[in-house]
Structure 1
Amino acid sequence: MSEKYTSLKKVFDKLHHGKYYESDFSSSDVDTAIQELKTICQVLPILSIDTQRDITKLLVAAQARHLQEVLKYKADGEEKYHNLLKEYQNFLQRQTTVTTSLVDVPAKESANSDHAGSSEYDETSLSSYMVEKKSKDNSPSIIDLSIVNSPTKLAEDFKELYNTEWIDAFEALKNSGQIRNEEDIIKKLSTMLMLAYELCREQARKHRGKITEALVHPLRVAESAAEVEPSTEKMLQPTARQIQQDTGVYALPAIQEIFKHTHGGGLREIGWDKSKEIMTYIESCVRICWLFSIQDPPMKLFWHDEGSEMNDNLKEYKYTDHGKVVNFTVWPTLYLHENGTMMSKGVVQAF
């Protein structure tokens, strides 16, 4: 941990040893620690959204000297704190590696340019491009988000979401007793993902519009009259998309809040906002769908219609008998883009 994060380290060291009092750390120490936490999370936007939230809960409880609250959040908060340190150290190590590799860019530049017209996704070319871009910007401290959030990595994350958070949320809904039918539980989880996907696609479109407005009317972006001529908007579209892809991940916390504002009322009415497993699933859905939406071009999720024929892009849900026709989609198929290469097979209930 960098020396600039001494307050965060100090507070957690004291908490770990059971020292919670004003003589151990001051209220201003905690304020500084919270700001340091925000700074770390800002350069690690790929972290689960509950990491910062749960660590902050522990810090706030410690600042108020509420011992019961501290003990309540201590185990989870400390675990996430140590995971955060590990991720941050990995981040610093990656930046050191990228900086060291800058000397290799000229030798690879001509080789990479030979593949500029290839339609096949090339992770190596993308990495080389980002290293060259970092060299030009002279900004080795900025994380390689276009590499970390590459289509291949996102496809892996999408599979992991189904294999982990989806299963946890399924079990939480099943155990809650609110929905007894397994098919209804699956459809409800699918609907949550679809709502996240639709919202993120729409918000990404608006986000690109705001980027274009900022490029054309930098002093009027807050005004409703800051319109852009269609011809200018078309010309700037590639630039706006590139800016969004490079920096859009930093808008993720705001997108999470928009989703909660739009759909949170329904979740609170049925008490699902109290379930850690369900909320983690929803937050993960919004995260992955936002990252899909800011790709250039955007990645596509496809829910297969009832009655459509089974094909090679589908897997049958593991609890069902074999069938030739889709009954309903359990998990959508992921494509690189509209009419693009399949990145992850969908899962369906067949009959």
Structure 2
Amino acid sequence: MFAGNRRTKVLTQADYEANILRLRQERDSLAHRLHHTDAYIEQIHYDFKKLQNELKTLEKQKHDLENTHNKTMKDLVHNQKEAIIVTLKEDVKRLQAERDDRDKHIADLKADKDELQSKLGKVSGEKMLDKNPQIADLSDPRRPQKLVEMISILYDNKWTDAFEKSEDKGDEKQICIYLLNIFKECWNYCKETCEQQTKILEQNLLLASENKDGVYALSPGSSTLLTETRKRSAKEMMPNLYEKFKSAKKDIKEDLHTYVESCLEVCWYSAINEPPMHYGFDAEEQADDFRKYTQGGNTVDFVVWPAMHLFINGPILYKGVAQYKN
């Protein structure tokens, strides 16, 4: 059949079947390609998630590394600070040791100076000073004026500490009497020890026997030398004096040993002075030698601290302390 010179092709059954077959093949090919595309997309999703997980892991590792780095830096700074502190402490110890050495050197120089002054004083005024308490030997570091300072410090400081540590001894009056008795025992012990030591030393110096009624004739120079020797050796013998006294007075508790040692020290230097110094404990007979403790009045209640005299019946150097009542 022809229309307008155009020929229309007539499709046969075989052509339809060939087209259908072709279309089915194209469909199968597209389906196969689509299946591969879906698998590819799924692989891409899988790889993406894997990369995300790896990224998270890397970020966590980075965070951990930053924390470790920061901690390491802090530890390093801390260790550096500790090292600096240790170095500074060592420097402080070294400087303290140097200071102590310097102080010791200064003390040694002062001791040498005092010794030279002592020798100079001995040469210039040995006879004048011998048994003359009215003339002060300024070269003597334990002269009466210095002992006044010692007993004042003893009462103001050590006695106060001892009072606080003796509260188990009763009320205020009982504690004051107890501490005064300790001082009195120290004084009596030092006087007796000094007298015995003097007798033995003079005996040995003169090769005298004990049956001469204790009367020895040392020259003024020898007597002064004996006194100076005892004063010089007093510091070395003080530990033995402490131990012997504590052995004899075992009832004194350990908390008061510092007070006892201070009492013994001032008492020993007072006893070996020439002539020996004197302590008064009777505020009724020697009323002018005492001042009030916390209360005045016309009657002595109890004595707190003794009065110091240059020698027995001599001038007062330090007023004692007593509690009065009306």
**TM-score bin (small chain):** 0.5 to 0.7
Q: Secondary structure at the match of 1:297?
A: coil
1:89 aligns with 2:126: no
2:56 paired residue number: none
- Give the superposition deviation at 1:254: 2.3
- Give the superposition deviation at 1:293: 0.5
- Give the superposition deviation at 1:120: 7.0
Q: Secondary structure at the match of 2:201?
A: helix
After superposition, residues 28-47 of structure 1 pair within 5 angstroms as none
2:201 paired residue number: 211
Change (3 A) 1:103 1:238: closer
Change (3 A) 1:163 1:88: farther
Change (3 A) 1:85 1:326: farther
1:234 to 210, 216, 239: 216
- Give the superposition deviation at 1:179: 2.3
Change (3 A) 1:347 1:203: same
2:287 paired residue number: 310
After superposition, residues 61-140 of structure 1 pair within 5 angstroms as 86=103, 89-96=106-113, 99=116, 109=124, 121-123=134-136, 126-127=137-138
1:40-65 per-residue CA deviation (whole Å, 9 max, x = no partner) reads xxxxxxxxxxxxxxxxxxxxxxxxxx
2: CA distance between counterparts of 1:103 and 1:241?
A: 15
Matched AA of 1:95: D
1: CA distance between counterparts of 2:259 and 2:99?
A: 22
Query: Which 5+ residue runs of structure 1 have no aligned equivalent?
Result: 1-15, 19-74, 131-146, 218-224
2:149 to 144, 156, 161: 156
Tell me the C-alpha RMSD between the 2 structures. 3.8
- Give the superposition deviation at 1:17: 4.8
1: CA distance between counterparts of 2:187 and 2:118?
A: 37
- Give the superposition deviation at 1:297: 0.7
1:327 paired residue number: 301
2: CA distance between counterparts of 1:347 and 1:114?
A: 37
- Give the superposition deviation at 1:333: 0.4
- Give the superposition deviation at 1:299: 0.3
2:248 paired residue number: 262
Q: Percent identity among equivalent residues?
A: 23
2:59 paired residue number: none
Matched AA of 1:204: C
Q: Secondary structure at the match of 2:258?
A: helix
2:52 paired residue number: none
Change (3 A) 1:309 1:350: farther
2: CA distance between counterparts of 1:169 and 1:85?
A: 34
Q: Secondary structure at the match of 2:229?
A: helix
1:59 paired residue number: none
Matched AA of 1:92: L
Q: Secondary structure at the match of 2:210?
A: coil
Paired residues in the alignment total: 229
Give the TM-score of the pair, scaled to structure 1. 0.56
Asked if the contact 2:293–2:322 (Cα under 8 Å) also holds between the matched residues in 1, the reply is yes
1:58 paired residue number: none
Matched AA of 1:235: A
1:336 to 294, 310, 317: 310
Change (3 A) 1:183 1:85: farther
Q: Secondary structure at the match of 2:308?
A: strand
Asked if the contact 1:333–1:347 (Cα under 8 Å) also holds between the matched residues in 2, the reply is yes
- Give the superposition deviation at 1:205: 0.4
1:200 to 190, 205, 208: 190
1: CA distance between counterparts of 2:187 and 2:135?
A: 26
Change (3 A) 1:203 1:113: closer
2:169 paired residue number: 179
Matched AA of 1:291: Y
Q: Secondary structure at the match of 1:164?
A: helix
Asked if the contact 1:165–1:281 (Cα under 8 Å) also holds between the matched residues in 2, the reply is yes
Give the TM-score of the pair, scaled to structure 2. 0.60
2: CA distance between counterparts of 1:229 and 1:239?
A: 22
1: CA distance between counterparts of 2:149 and 2:290?
A: 16
Asked if the contact 2:270–2:276 (Cα under 8 Å) also holds between the matched residues in 1, the reply is yes
1: CA distance between counterparts of 2:160 and 2:202?
A: 40
Change (3 A) 1:240 1:84: farther
2: CA distance between counterparts of 1:97 and 1:308?
A: 40
Asked if the contact 2:129–2:135 (Cα under 8 Å) also holds between the matched residues in 1, the reply is no
- Give the superposition deviation at 1:288: 0.8
Bigger radius of gyration, 1 or 2?
A: 2
Matched AA of 1:266: D
1:10 paired residue number: none
Change (3 A) 1:84 1:209: farther
Query: Which 5+ residue runs of structure 2 have no aligned equivalent?
Result: 1-88
Matched AA of 2:282: H
Change (3 A) 1:102 1:288: closer
Asked if the contact 2:131–2:275 (Cα under 8 Å) also holds between the matched residues in 1, the reply is no
Asked if the contact 1:248–1:294 (Cα under 8 Å) also holds between the matched residues in 2, the reply is yes
Asked if the contact 1:309–1:325 (Cα under 8 Å) also holds between the matched residues in 2, the reply is no
Change (3 A) 1:117 1:153: closer
2: CA distance between counterparts of 1:287 and 1:102?
A: 21
Q: Secondary structure at the match of 1:121?
A: coil
